[in-house]
Structure formats: C-alpha cells, structure tokens
Amino acid sequence: ILNVEQSPQSLHVQEGDSTNFTCSFPSSNFYALHWYRWETAKSPEALFVMTLNGDEKKKGRISATLNTKEGYSYLYIKGSQPEDSATYLCASYGGSQGNLIFGKGTKLSVKP
Amino acid sequence: GVTQSPTHLIKTRGQQVTLRCSSQSGHNTVSWYQQALGQGPQFIFQYYREEENGRGNFPPRFSGLQFPNDSSELNVNALELDDSALYLCASSSGLGSYEQYFGPGTRLTVT
C-alpha cells in the first residue's frame, strides 16, 4: 500500500511571501506524481503531472520539482496572492488500477 | 468539464443513494473517490468501457455503473454514518492515462 504524505497540513502567509510545500511518496514502482489546486466548492484543478526524475514544471508563479529516487516533490509559490488560497493536493498514480493515491493536502491561506 | 449531481444530499442510515457523474466528452474511463473529513480522497473504483477495472478497499455495498453516453453512477446501499463524505468522480481518456479531470463532488450526509 502506498502512503503519500504532505507537509505542512496548513500554512498562513502574507501577500507577497513565497512559500513551498512538500509531498513524499514511496519511490518504488513510481509512475507519475500529480499536483492539484482545490478551492472550496470547486473541482480540483490539475496543476502538474510529473513522471521523470529531476522534472521541473512551471505555471506562472507556481513551480514544482520531482525526485523519484528519494520519493519527494516540492511545490513552490512565488509572491503569494490572496487568490492562491486553496488546498494543494499531491497524488501518486497507482498504476494497474489507474487510481490516484492522495495525500491529505496542504491548506494555504494568503492574507492581503 | 466533469459535472456531478446532486451537489448535496441528506440520507438516513440504512437507505440507499445514487450519485451521478457526467464525464468530459470523449473520456471512456471514470474513477470515483471518497473524501472523508480531514482525509485525502480515497479511491473507490474505476470503470472503463462499462466494466469495473479496479477497486479500492470499499465493501460491495458500494457499486457503480458506466453508460455509453459518458455518464456514470455510484450506488451505495445500506448507508452507514461513516459514509458521510464528499464523493468525487474523475474522468480520463483511457486506461494508463495519467491525467484525471475531476468534478466538484457531491456532499453526502448520513444521519
């Protein structure tokens, strides 16, 4: 059974601060790592799908890195804005059953 | 996009419930997840071309259907209080496709 862990559980920052979250996952039988951004009452929105060790992806002020050998991924937000407030979920792709194995998420609150 | 109905519903313990999902156009694979309070989403099962492809650690009273028109259902019989959760469906373009697109979920409360 895969366990995906995320830290911190929650984070409160001021507008303009840069921040980062951690996702750890078992490195054996790795297929892909997903990051989702999830605002309350909306659908989880896919940010990144990463498959290769050393992958770095960027979308605007948000970027992510992947280390499959040691089993971790970092999500970075540069210059946080109030609209970045959301829960950020990471998930490891389970493979044969096609399922995603999620962490519990990091809840980010950005104060103006 | 992926849509789900209803948005919220309240049921009594022992009752049965059907939740519905409309997949993104052209997607032939749908997965259902349960998110209990304080937890990450947990995989219930996946359907591909109207057949169950994989199942998580959920009892048989959780069942599903997938229809040719890109819609699907999650049925839960003999509801228990612990079934209270947000239920998410996600569609993808086929088996082995890493990208899954989620609906906004259905909030089920069992009293």
**What confidence tens digit (pLDDT) does each residue in B58-71 have?**
999 999 999 988 89
Whole-number pLDDT of residue A1 = 47
Contacts of A94 in chain B (CB under 8 A): 43
Between these two residues, B53 and B14, which has the higher pLDDT value? B14
Contacts of A103 in chain B (CB under 8 A): 40
Nearest chain B residue to A48, by CA: B99
Whole-number pLDDT of residue A2 = 61
In this prediction, what percent of chain A has a pLDDT beyond 70? 96
Res B96 pLDDT > 80: no
Q: What is the mean pLDDT of chain B?
A: 94
Whole-number pLDDT of residue A98 = 72
State the pairing for strand pair A45-50/A33-38: antiparallel
Write out residues in chain A with pLDDT < 50, as ranges: 1
Shortest CA gap B93–chain A (Å): 12
Structure tokens at B39: 């937890």
Whole-number pLDDT of residue A94 = 75
> How far is residue B85's CA from residue B91's CA, in Å, rounded to a whole number?
20
Shortest CA gap A80–chain B (Å): 24
Non-local (6+) Cβ contacts of B62 within 8 A are B44, B45, B74, B75, B76
Whole-number pLDDT of residue B69 = 84
Question: Taking the CB of residue B69, how many other CB atoms lie within 10 A of it?
Answer: 8
> How far is residue A96's CA from residue B43's CA, in Å, rounded to a whole number?
13
Interface of A with B (CB under 8 A): 4, 31-32, 34, 36, 41-44, 46, 49, 51, 89, 91, 93-94, 96-105
Q: What is the mean pLDDT of chain A?
A: 93
Strand B71-76's sheet: what is its strand order?
B3-5, B17-22, B71-76, B62-66
Shortest CA gap A29–chain B (Å): 14
Whole-number pLDDT of residue A96 = 66
- Residue B47 near residue B54, CB atoms below 8 Å: no
Contacts of B98 in chain A (CB under 8 A): 31-32, 34, 49, 51, 93
Q: B69: number of CA atoms within 13 Å, CB side? A: 5
> How far is residue A33's CA from residue A27's CA, in Å, rounded to a whole number?
11
Would you put residue A98 in left (φ > 0), alpha (ψ -120 to 50) or beta? Answer: left
Contact A41 B104 (CB under 8 A): yes
Nearest chain B residue to A95, by CA: B96
**Mean pLDDT, rounded, for B75-97:** 93
**Mean pLDDT, rounded, for B29-56:** 94
